């Protein structure tokens, strides 16, 4: 099987020859730690890992290409440092928020997942209806630059490919939080429910309109929705609020995506998602990730409760990988039944942190390669 076939067969509970090998990705501080531990070229860690483990997936014969269609605002706000004080930058970021970050990093770390960085938000761009009216023109599906000049050629190059190609965009909760801030959004859900519903509907229509030319031209392998909306033990909003403000978007997008022939809709949310999975299943979403163990997610229990209604990616406890030895061995034995049942691509349950040493990452990856059929 090629990469594309293996990905689809796994997540759709088919019969893959092997399960995709996806140990997880390190960020900057992790790569720096691995370099100090003897990995000469940490930016090519997968090449080194394959050399050590002694296997390598077949290279693609007809690779797909990125479609190059952004779902972000056009134009963006000017990024600029407003203050530099007490070891911190206060910045206006490209989304229009006023944000604070340690001057250990430059301001580009504010909105980029380069590393594990703590930030503080002071102000968000949508506080009033006037702010909202000023924001809306930045989300025009037909803005110059929304589709690349060679969009048709990119679509054509994706015909007959043997690699995985998909698109990602923010869910309504994530996007409204970018506009209003978490506290501002939650207050509006209680005090200005009609305003929130209006913003959610606007975002739903924008995504649908932006997505349509892609769905009309390309048979995607998946569509990913980014919707971080859970704490360590619970959802950030109630299931009732999720159904009221978010579910209409999910249902519309799922119908449009499935009508195009794409069968995999993948929901990404950190935190404990046990309250949310039933809503996603109701909406037609059939994959979720990263299944953070530290947040109380138990993939074995999820499989027992939801069966084949939901597939998963992630689910390997990063804390167990960091401890290594018998601890990570026990962790992979814990998830083995779910791997065997199908519908699961096991991987580190978020970005690979720097307390996971390079030797422990190798040991974990070897174990992972065994249970996924590569060794």
Quote the distance between the C-alpha of residue 253 and its chain's center.
17
Burial string for 211-227 (b: 16+ CB within 10 Å, else e) reads bebbbebbebbbbbbbb
Q: Which two tokens stand for residue 148?
A: 């690349």
**Contacts within 8 Å (CB) and 24+ apart, 134-140:** 135/73, 135/96, 135/179, 136/202, 138/73, 138/74, 138/75, 138/76, 139/73, 139/74, 139/202, 139/203, 139/206, 140/74
Q: What is the pLDDT of residue 192?
A: 97
User: What pTM, to 2 d.p., does this model score?
Assistant: 0.95
Domains and CATH numbers, the chain: 3-72+125-371 (3.20.20.210), 78-124 (no CATH)
| Cβ(290)–Cβ(268) below 8 Å | yes
- Kindly give the parts of the chain with pLDDT less than 50: none
Torsion of CA 99, 196, 147, 214, to 10 degrees: 130
> Which of 263, 254, 264, 372 minimizes the C-alpha distance to 315?
372
- With H, G, I as helix, E, B as strand and everything else as coil, classify residue 338: helix
Q: What is the pLDDT of residue 107?
A: 75
| Cβ(52)–Cβ(362) below 8 Å | yes
Burial string for 63-76 (b: 16+ CB within 10 Å, else e) reads ebeebebebebeee
- With H, G, I as helix, E, B as strand and everything else as coil, classify residue 169: strand
Number of H helices, E strands in the chain: 15, 10
Torsion of CA 268, 274, 280, 284, to 10 degrees: 110
Question: For the sheet containing 311-316, what is the strand order?
Answer: 166-170, 222-226, 265-268, 287-289, 311-316, 344-348
Average pLDDT taken over every residue of the chain = 96
Q: Which two tokens stand for residue 356?
A: 């996971």
> Which of 314, 351, 366 minimizes the C-alpha distance to 29?
351
User: Helix 28-36 to helix 358-371 angle, to the nearest 10 degrees?
Assistant: 110
Residues 6+ apart with CB under 8 A from 121: 97, 98, 99, 100, 181
Strands 311-316, 344-348: pairing kind: parallel
DSSP code for 278: H
| Cβ(154)–Cβ(148) below 8 Å | yes
Q: What is the pLDDT of residue 113?
A: 74
Q: What is the pLDDT of residue 116?
A: 83
| Cβ(1)–Cβ(159) below 8 Å | no
Give the CA distances from residue 246 to residues 61, 70, 155, 204, in Å, rounded to whole numbers and listed in that order.
40, 21, 30, 9
């Amino acid at each position: 099987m090629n990469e594309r076939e293996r990905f689809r067969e796994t997540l759709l509970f088919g019969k893959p020859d092997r399960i995709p090998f996806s140990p997880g990705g390190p960020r900057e501080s992790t790569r720096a730690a691995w370099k100090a531990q003897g990995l000469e070229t940490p930016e090519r860690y997968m090449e080194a890992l394959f050399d050590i483990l002694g296997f390598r997936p077949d290279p693609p014969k007809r690779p797909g290409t990125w479609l190059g269609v952004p779902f972000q605002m056009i134009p963006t706000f000017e990024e600029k440092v407003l203050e530099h004080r007490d070891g911190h930058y206060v910045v206006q970021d490209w989304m229009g928020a006023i944000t604070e970050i340690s001057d250990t990093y430059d301001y580009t770390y504010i909105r980029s997942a380069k590393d594990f960085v703590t930030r503080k938000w002071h102000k968000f761009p949508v506080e009033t209806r006037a702010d909202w009216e000023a924001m809306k023109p930045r989300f025009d599906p037909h803005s110059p630059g929304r589709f690349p000049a060679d969009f048709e050629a990119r679509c054509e190059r994706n015909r007959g490919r043997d690699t995985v190609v998909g698109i990602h965009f923010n869910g309504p909760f994530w996007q409204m939080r970018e506009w209003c801030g978490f506290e501002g959004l939650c207050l509006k859900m209680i005090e200005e429910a009609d305003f929130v519903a209006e913003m959610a509907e606007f975002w739903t229509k924008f995504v649908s309109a932006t997505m349509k030319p892609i769905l009309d031209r390309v048979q995607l392998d998946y569509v990913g929705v980014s919707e971080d909306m859970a704490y360590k033990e619970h959802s950030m909003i109630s299931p009732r609020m999720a159904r009221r403000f978010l579910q209409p978007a999910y249902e519309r997008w799922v119908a449009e995506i499935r009508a195009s022939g794409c069968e995999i809709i993948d929901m990404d949310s950190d935190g404990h998602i046990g309250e949310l999975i039933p809503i996603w299943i109701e909406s037609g979403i059939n994959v979720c990730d990263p299944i953070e163990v530290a947040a109380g997610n138990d993939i074995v229990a999820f499989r027992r409760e939801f069966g084949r209604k939901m597939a998963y990616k992630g689910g390997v406890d990063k804390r167990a990988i960091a401890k290594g030895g018998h601890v990570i061995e026990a962790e992979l034995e814990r998830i083995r039944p779910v791997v065997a049942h199908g519908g699961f691509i096991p991987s580190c349950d978020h970005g690979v942190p720097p307390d996971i040493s390079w030797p422990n990452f190798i040991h974990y990856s070897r174990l992972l390669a065994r249970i996924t059929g590569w060794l």
